[in-house]
Amino acid sequence: MEELGLGPNGSLMYCMDYLLNNMDWLEDELQKFEDDEYLIIDCPGQIELYTHVPIMRSVIDQMCTWGFGSTMVSVFVVDATFVCDAPKFISGSLLSLSAMIALELPHVNVLSKCDLVDEEKVNHVLDAETANELWQREEYTARLELEALSKPSQNDGDPIISKKEKQMMTARRIKHNRLTEAICSLVDDYSMVSFVPLNIMDEDSIDHVLSHVDHTIQYGEDLDVKGAEIDDVQDD
């Protein structure tokens, strides 16, 4: 970073571009593993690599030419603390959809750190059938809070905000809601974004996420067939 005068994001872009120009190194490393080994490649979290520039897509295309195409799945991880804030959750859904379209791989969305968030709040969001439904819940709560602020207080009888301030806040909220509702409609129209909650303190939760990933690429199905063949031989 100091030598090239780059910031954190610029340095990451430089490193990924360097990797793209030296893919023979990655191929040599991957060839060290057996065909039936399970590989997890932890990629950088900067969203630009998946939505703004084609670097990760180029890496994936190259790996497909090496024979990994039918066994790759992308796992998009979103922090579960976003669940506590509906606008952030909708934003995370839109980013997930963007990455899904850009990478063109089988895709699994995971809500991480669920052990740090109230389970009821997580289920409250995940139970929403559409993004618009989730946003309407948020909007209803915001209207109630605004009404409470405009009522006379118990201390001095004066409202926290004036009638004019309430009108201005309502007008601004309505204006912003048009954009939010349009974004929610975009997510709903695709009907492709869903999340699997992950609680690292719960072994069943980890198995549940892993089973989703395995099912996406049908990992292990050939092993089941081999096991059935062995059982048939023993029965004979």
Beta bridge partners of 79: 112
Q: Which residues of 93-122 are buried (b: 16+ CB within 10 A; e: fewer)?
A: bbbbbebbebbebbbbbbbbbbeebeeeeb
End-to-end CA distance of the chain: 66
pLDDT exceeds 60 at position 190: yes
Place of tokens 């049908």: 218
Beta-carbon contacts of 76 under 8 Å, excluding residues fewer than 6 positions away, are 96, 99, 100, 107, 108, 109, 110
183, 90 in Cβ contact below 8 A? yes
Measured distance CA(213)–CA(220) in Å, rounded: 11
On the 0-12 / 13-18 / 19+ scale of CB atoms within 10 A, 37 is exposed
- The DSSP secondary-structure symbol of 68 reads I
What is the biggest distance separating any 2 CA atoms in the chain, rounded to whole angstroms? 90
Beta-carbon contacts of 77 under 8 Å, excluding residues fewer than 6 positions away, are 110, 112
Q: What is the band of 1 on the pLDDT scale with cuts at 50, 70, 90?
A: confident
- Tell me: the pLDDT tens digits for 76-132? 988 887 767 777 777 888 888 888 888 889 899 898 888 888 877 777 777 777 777
58, 103 in Cβ contact below 8 A? no
Lowest mean pLDDT among 21-25, 88-92, 156-160, 192-196: 156-160
**Can you give the pLDDT at residue 24?**
93
> Where would I find the H helices in 68-162?
86-103, 119-126, 131-150
Measured distance CA(39)–CA(45) in Å, rounded: 18
Angle at 194 between CA 191 and CA 197, to 5 degrees: 170
Percentage of the chain exceeding pLDDT 90: 13
**Can you give the pLDDT at residue 187?**
76
- Tell me: the pLDDT tens digits for 207-233? 999 998 988 888 876 655 544 555 555
**Can you give the pLDDT at residue 155?**
61
Mean of pLDDT over the chain? 79
**Can you give the pLDDT at residue 235?**
57
Dig out the tokens for 105 from the structure. Answer: 């791989």
127, 113 in Cβ contact below 8 A? no
- Tell me: the pLDDT tens digits for 142-182? 777 767 777 766 665 666 667 677 667 777 777 777 777 78
Measured distance CA(83)–CA(164) in Å, rounded: 33
